[in-house]
Amino acid sequence: MARRTCHRAAIERKDGVPVSTSTEQSKAVSAASLELQSPKLQLSETQSPELQSPELQSPELQKLTATADFYSIMSVMLDYLTLPEVYEGIKSGTLQGDVRAIVDEMKLTDSRIDTALEMLDTVREQIASGVFQYTHLRQEYTRLFNDPKNPAIGFYEGTFINRKYEEAGKPSPDNSSLFINQAALDADRQYQRAGVTRDIAKANIPGDCMLTEMAFMQHLFQLKAQAVLDSAAERSEKADAWLYEFKRLHLKVWMHDFFEKCYQVSTREYFLAVGLLGQALAEETLRDMVTQ
C-alpha cells in the first residue's frame, strides 16, 4: 500500500516509535498543532517523526488511524483556506490517492466512494484541459457555504437544523435558537473536556462549524488509537465514551444530512464528491447511532 500524502493523526508508541505523522499536502494542518484556521482548532502539541507503514499496524489500529485520517481529509476538503492545496492535490492525483489508501485501510466498500473518486478524476481532466480553474472551486465554495446573504447550505449545526425545520414548516428545536446556540455551547464543552482549545480571538466562529466537528472527530479517533496502542484500557474506554457522546449529540443530528445536501445542491463535481464521501463516512462511523 502506498504511503499517502495527506495529514495523518500523530500517534506514538510508548517507546517513541511513530505510527503516523503529517506531511505537507495542507500547510494549514500540522501534526505539531492542527490549527484549522477557519475556525482555529488546536488539537495536539505532539511532535511526530517519519511515517511508519500502515502494514505494521494491527487491523484494529489500522482502521482507527485510517478513520482519523478520513475525518482529517474531510476537514481539509471543507476548509476555504486549504482550497489551493486541495486544487493542487486533485491536479497531481495525490488527493485521490490519499482517499483510496484511507478507504483500503478501513476495509470500506461503498459505491459512492468509487463514484466520488471518478468525479475527482474528472475534475483533474478538466483542470488539465483548462475547463476547470481554481476560481471555479472558490466561487462554488462561497455559494454553498459563505454567501453573505443566503448560503445554499448551513455550515453550522444550529443554523443547518434551524433551516431544516423552517423548510419543513416546523418550529425549530431549542438547540437551533438564534440567540443561544446550544449546539455550539455543547461542542465547546466537549472540545475543552478532551483537551482541545479554539483560538476564538482569531476566529470568532461558533464551535458547531462542520469543519471543526470533522477535525474534532479526527482528534477523538486519534486518542482512541493511542490508547489501543498503549494497551491503556481506561483511556480507551474514555475515548469510546467521548466518541459516542459527540456522535449522539452532534453528528447524528446533521452530518449525513449536511453531506447529502452538498451532493444535492452543488453544481461542481468536486463538491458532489465531497457530498458522497461525507455520506459514506457518516454511515460507516455512525452505525452505533442507528437504533438510538
Q: Mean pLDDT for each consecutive 10-residue tract of the chain (292 residues)?
A: 42 36 30 32 38 62 94 95 95 96 94 97 97 96 94 94 84 58 89 78 73 94 92 94 95 96 97 98 87 52
User: What is the signed CA dihedral for 163, 142, 262, 201, rounded to 10 degrees?
Assistant: -70
Half-sphere exposure of 83 (CA within 13 A, CB side): 18
DSSP H/E element including 268: none
C-alpha cell at 75: 476537514
Question: What is the Cα–Cα distance from 31 to 20, expressed in whole angstroms?
Answer: 9
CA 273 distance to own-chain centroid: 14
pTM above 0.85, yes or no: no
How many CB atoms neighbour CB 243 within 10 A? 19
For the domain bounded by 59-289, which CATH number is listed?
1.10.3480.10
The DSSP code for 158 is H
Residue with cell 486533485: 90
Strand segments, DSSP code E, in 140-239 are none
The pLDDT score that the predictor gives to residue 89 is 96
Peptide bond into 39 cis (omega under 30): yes
Question: What is the Cα–Cα distance from 66 to 54, expressed in whole angstroms?
Answer: 9
Question: What is the Cα–Cα distance from 227 to 68, expressed in whole angstroms?
Answer: 14
C-alpha cell at 254: 446533521
DSSP 3-state assignment of 35? strand
Question: What is the Cα–Cα distance from 96 to 124, expressed in whole angstroms?
Answer: 10
Residues 284, 41, 175, 263: is their CA dihedral positive or negative?
Answer: negative
The pLDDT score that the predictor gives to residue 111 is 95
Amino acid letter, 164: K
Half-sphere exposure of 1 (CA within 13 A, CB side): 20
Question: What is the Cα–Cα distance from 190 to 182, expressed in whole angstroms?
Answer: 12
The pLDDT score that the predictor gives to residue 17 is 35
Query: Are residues 203 and 40 in contact, defined by beta-carbon separation less than 8 angstroms?
Result: yes
The pLDDT score that the predictor gives to residue 169 is 80
Phi-psi group of 268: left, alpha or beta (phi > 0 → left; psi -120 to 50 → alpha; rest → beta)? beta
The pLDDT score that the predictor gives to residue 26 is 30
